[in-house]
Amino acid sequence: MLIYPNPFNNQFTVEYGLENKTAVLTIYNLMGVKVAEQTLTSQKTTVDLSNVANGIYFAVITEGNIKTHQKIVKQ
Q: Where are the domains of the chain?
A: 2-74
51, 54, 57, 62 alpha-carbon torsion, rounded to 10° = 20
CATH class of the 2-74 domain in this structure: mainly beta
Q: pLDDT, tens digit, for every residue of 33-57?
A: 999 999 999 999 999 999 999 999 9
The model's pTM: 0.92
pLDDT at 18: 84
- What one-character-per-residue DSSP string does 5-73 give? SSSBSSEEEEE---SSS-EEEEEEETTS-EEEEEEE-SSEEEEE-TTS-SEEEEEEEEETTEEEEEEEE
